[in-house]
Amino acid sequence: MKRRGSGGRHLKRKPAPAFWPIPKKKHVWAVRPVPGPHPIDRCIPLLVIIRDILKLAEVSREARIIIKQGLVKVDGVVRREPRFPVGLMDVLSLEEANTHYRILPTHKGLSLHKINNGEAKFKLCRIENKTTVKGGRTQLNLHDGRNILLSPEEEDVYKTLDVLMIEVPSQTILKHLRIGEGMYAIVIGGKNIGKHGKILGIEQVKGEKRRRHGVVLQSPDGEEFRTILDYVFVVGEEEPLISLPSKE
């Protein structure tokens, strides 16, 4: 039997991600996300977004009513589960208010960034790996849990860590962004999380896996910074395809 707080429906406030804007000492328990497309440390529960970030409700009961009424969409799909995990690059829409947000990384962690109607029609998904499924077909496994089955002629087109611009909710591929020099990217982890700029170079590290290779980027104001390939998320070619938070 699981000890209360170690799993199941319960999560104590102390081990909850620091970027969740909930009081640290006011309550013992926090909202535990249900299993979904994003892990606990890289998501924000829908209830927390409605109650604590957007301030559309004062208490969890009010937030649950809003969500269960079908007033909130994630990537174009109505989500009625208050504990649904919303994560990196997801598009959250409040249809009645005609308001949309994209979940983006900042120096504080994941945050909501307001976007227009046009941007709300697509999202960017990174290819985490490729697997072979029944029948010998190749499947792309994306960072948000999506899977896209490729035709035989497409199998060598897409590479791991490339990014796809897809229409939501249809999942139609609109654009393919290859990871490499000259591409525009945002950092999704490490000490430089939230910074974005053009990729100047990728440096192979002998004995290390590809994801651990070094990357040098240059921000729009000329600052150069470094990270690893695993923390790089391409968001455009010479310019980003999505709006990004202004530098604080």
State the average pLDDT for the chain.
89
Count of alpha carbons within 13 Å of 200, Cβ hemisphere only? 14
For the segment 64-81, what is each residue's pLDDT rounded down to a tens digit? 999 999 999 999 999 999
| Domain regions of the chain by residue span | 10-117, 121-177, 184-236
Split at pLDDT 50, 70, 90, the class of 153 is confident
Q: Bin 212: left if φ > 0, else alpha if -120 < ψ < 50, else beta.
A: alpha
pLDDT for 105 beyond 70:
yes
Q: Are 50 and 57 in contact (CB under 8 A)?
A: yes
Given this model, what pLDDT does residue 6 score? 41
Pick the CATH number of 10-117 from 3.90.850.10, 3.40.50.2000, 3.40.30.10, 3.10.290.10: 3.10.290.10
Mean pLDDT over 88-109 rounds to 95
What is the structure's pLDDT at 4? 36
The residue length of the chain stands at 248
Mean pLDDT of 234-243: 96
The pLDDT tens digits of the residues spanning 167-187 come to: 999 999 999 999 999 999 999
The Cα–Cα gap between 73 and 69 comes to: 11
Q: In this predicted model, which residue has the larger pLDDT, 139 or 32?
A: 139
Side by side, which strands form the sheet with 72-74?
Answer: 77-78, 72-74, 91-94, 99-106, 109-115
Measured between alpha carbons, how far is 19 from 88 in angstroms, rounded to an integer? 13
Indicate the class that CATH gives domain 121-177. Answer: mainly beta
Fold of 184-236: SH3 type barrels. (2.30.30)
More confident residue, 71 or 245: 71
Per-residue pLDDT of 45-60, as tens digits, reads 999 999 989 999 999 8
Mean pLDDT computed over 6-28: 60
Distance, in Å, from the CA atom of 245 to the CA atom of 196, rounded to the nearest integer, reads: 10
Q: Is the predicted pLDDT of residue 14 greater than 80, yes or no?
A: no
At residue 32 the predicted structure's pLDDT band, cuts being 50, 70 and 90, is: confident
DSSP letter assigned to residue 188: -
pLDDT tops 90 at residue 203: yes
Task: Locate 191 and state its tokens.
Answer: 């000490």
Percent of the chain at pLDDT exceeding 70: 88
Q: How far apart are CA 37 and CA 139, in angstroms?
A: 17
